Amino acid sequence: MAREMKALANPERDFIDEDRMQGQLSKQRDPEPQKIRDIIAKSLALQRLDPDQTAALLNIDDEDQWQEVFAAAAKVKDRVYGPRVVTFAPLYCSNLCLNDCVYCGFRKSNRAEKRRKLSLAEVADETRALIATGHRRLIVVYGEHPSSDVAYLDDTIRTIYQTRDGHDEIRRVNINAAPLSIADFRRVGAAGIGTYQVFQETYHHQTYRQVHPSGPKADYLWRLYALHRAQEAGIDDVAIGALFGLYDWRFEVMGLLYHAIELENQFGGVGPHTISFPRLEPAANTPWNERSPYRVRDRDFKRLIAVLRLSVPYTGMIITAREPAAIRRAGIELGCTQTDASARIGIGAYAEREQEQEAARQQFLLNDSRGLDEVVCELAEMGQLTSFCTAGYRCGRTGSTFMNLAKQGQVHRFCIPNAILTFQEYLLDHASAPTRKIGERLIHRQRKRLPTSVRRRLDRLLARIQTGERDLRV
C-alpha cells in the first residue's frame, strides 16, 4: 500500500525529460573508441548502462565500431540467456477501438476496417487451432473499447487456459491491452496472465499528441504510468515498447531506457521483463505510415537492437513477424530473446485457416507468414533452441526473482534445461521429420554443455518425455 501511494502520489511527474535526453544525445557526438570499449565492457559485465553511455553508442559513426557493438550484443545475449529463443503466437480478439491512432488500421475513423469481436466460443476455436500446431504461449491483443472491457479480458484469458486437447494447451497467456486501473489490473492478474504489455509508441510528447488525436489514448501520462499501476496490482512481469517510425529512433531508444530505469527505481530493481521495438508497417487505408519521415532503415534497425541489448543486458527483447525473415534472423543474432511464429493477425484468422493476409481485418501487414515448424527449424539451424517454456512463471521465477537471476547471468541454469524439455516435447508431438532430426542433434549438443548434475537430471526427465509424460520441468 505504501508503494501504491508513493508512485501515485505524484502521477503527473513526467520522468521523460526531453531536454535532458536531447542534450545527452548531442553531448555524446563522435565518442572516442576507448570510451566505446569501456561501455561495452560494462555491458559484458551485465550492468545496465547509464543514459550518457547509451547516447554515446547511438552516436557511433564508424562502421568498425558498430561491428564491435554487434559482436558484444551477441555475446551479452548468450551470457544472459544462452542459445535459446522463446516462441509465442499473437491472438487478436477484437478490432473495435475508441482511439484514432493515425498509424493503426483499427483506428476509429478507418471506415475500411471490418470490425469484429470474437465470442468466447470463437476464442476457444482460435486457441484449439494454435495448440494443434504446438504453441504454448500467446500474446492476446485487444482494441480499446467498452465491448472489450476488463470482464471480456477476464473471460477470454480464462477461456484460453481452459481450452485443451490431450497434452496440447496454452501454458502462458500474456496480454497487450489498453492501460487499466489498478483494480482492473488486479482482476486480469487473478485470471492468471503472465506478462502485461503496453507500448508508449513514442516518448516524444509533441509527436504523441499528433499521432493520438483523440480517445483515452491521447493521455500520455495515463499510458506512461500503466506499468506502474500493473506492478502495484501485483503483476510483476511488465513489458514496454516503442513504435519505431513515429519519431527519431535514437530518441526512442533513450525513452525506452529511461522507462526501464524508472521502473527499476520504483519497484525494487524490477524493470521491464521485455522490450519491443516494432517498426511501422503499412495498414489498410492508412497513408500516414508511408509518409512518415522517421521510418527506420534496416541498417539503423539493427543498430538500435544492438544498443538496446547492451543498454539493458538482462532484459528480454522481442522481434515479431512484422519483420521479414532475414531481419528477424539478424535481430536474433544481435540478441533478441523472443519471437512469434505462424502469426495471423486477422480477427478469427487461425480457425478460418486463413493463409493470405486480409488488410481490412488487420491492424497492419506482416512481412513473415512462415509456420511454426519452419521457424523452429531455422532457429535450430542457427544453433538456437526454441523454448516453449513457461516453467519460470509457474514456479514463481518472475519479477524480482527472475531479475536477480538474470542480472547474475544465472537464468540459463534453469532455462536451458527447461527449454530443452519443451523443445523435445515439440519435436515428438508436432515437428516435421527434418525439423525433428536437426532439433534432436541440437539437443544432443546442448546437453553436453551442461554441468554433470544438471545433465543427469535432464536426462531422467527426457526419458520420461519419451515414454509419454509431458510438462516436466527442473
How many Å from the N-terminal Cα to the C-terminal Cα in the chain? 34
CB 437 to ligand SAM: min, Å: 35
Using CB under 6 A, pick the residue from 36, 39, 104, 420 that binds ligand SF4. 104
Torsion of CA 127, 184, 240, 276, to 10 degrees: 20
Q: Which does 107 bind (CB under 5 to 8 A by kind): ligand SF4, ligand SAM, none?
A: ligand SF4
Which residues form the interface with ligand SAM (CB under 6 A)?
A: 103-104, 141, 143-144, 176, 178, 198-199, 201, 243, 278, 280-281, 283, 289, 322, 363-364
Whether the CB-CB separation of 129 and 350 falls below 8 Å is answered with: yes
The Cα angle at residue 131 between residues 130 and 133, in degrees rounded to 5:
70
Residue 179 found at the interface with ligand SF4 (CB under 6 A)? no
When CB distances are held under 5 to 8 angstroms depending on the partner's kind, the choice from ligand SAM, ligand SF4, none that residue 284 binds is: none
How big is the CA angle at 133 (ends 398 and 371), to the nearest 5 degrees?
95
Q: How far is the CB of 176 from ligand SAM (least distance, A)?
A: 5
Of 48 and 108, nearer to ligand SF4 (C-beta) is: 108
Q: Which residues have CB under 8 Å from 434's CB, separation 6+?
A: 377
Query: Does the protein bind ligand SF4 through residue 106 (CB under 6 A)?
Result: yes
Strands 168-169 and 193-197: what pairing? unpaired
Query: Do the Cβ atoms of 185 and 152 come closer than 8 Å?
Result: no
At closest approach, how far in Å is the CB of 388 from ligand SAM? 21
CA gap 111, 70 in Å, rounded:
43
Nearer CB in complex with ligand SAM: 215/409: 215
What's the angle, vertex CA 140, arms to CA 134 and CA 142, rounded to 5?
155
**Beta carbon of residue 259, minimum distance to ligand SAM (angstroms, whole number):** 14
Smaller CB distance to ligand SAM: residue 236 or 281? Answer: 281
Which residues between 343 and 372 bind ligand SF4 (CB under 6 A)? Answer: 363
Is 437 buried (19+), middle (13-18) or exposed (0-12) by CB count in 10 A? middle
Look at residue 195 and give the partner it binds from ligand SF4, ligand SAM, none, a contact being a CB closer than 5 to 8 Å depending on partner kind. none
Report if residue 223 touches ligand SF4, rule: CB under 6 A: no
**Residue owning grid cell 529463443:** 85
Using the contact rule CB under 6 A, the part of the chain among 97-105, 326-334, 340-348, 427-435 near ligand SF4 is 97-105
| Residue 278 within binding range of ligand SF4, rule CB under 6 A | no
Would you give the DSSP letter of residue 216?
G
Distance CA 156, CA 193 (A): 11
- Binding region for ligand SF4 (CB under 6 A) out of 95-103, 225-233, 408-416, 439-447: 95-103
Q: Which of 48, 77, 84, 107 binds ligand SF4 (CB under 6 A)?
A: 107
Instruction: Report strand pairing: 84-92 vs 137-141.
Output: parallel
The nearer residue to ligand SF4, 43 or 176, going by C-beta atoms, is: 176
CB atoms closer than 10 angstroms to residue 253? 28
113 binds, among ligand SF4, ligand SAM, none (CB under 5 to 8 A by kind): none
Residue 331, Cα to own-chain centre: how many angstroms?
13
Return the number of the residue (143 or 316) whose C-beta is nearest ligand SF4.
Answer: 143
Integer Cα distance of 436 and 179 in angstroms: 41
For 362, phi then psi, to 5°, come to -115, 160
Question: Applying CB under 6 A, does 117 fall inside the site for ligand SF4?
Answer: no
* CA dist list (Å): 269 to 45, 263, 396, 406: 17, 7, 17, 12
Nearest residue to ligand SAM on Cβ basis:
364
When CB distances are held under 5 to 8 angstroms depending on the partner's kind, the choice from ligand SF4, ligand SAM, none that residue 199 binds is ligand SAM
CB of 97 to ligand SF4, least distance (A): 3
Contacts of 373 (CB under 8 A, 6+ apart): 133, 134, 430, 431, 432, 435
Q: Does 140 bind ligand SF4 (CB under 6 A)?
A: no
Q: Which of 16, 93, 97, 427 binds ligand SF4 (CB under 6 A)?
A: 97
**Which spans of this chain sit near ligand SF4 (rule: CB under 6 A)?**
97, 99, 101, 104, 106-107, 143-144, 217, 363
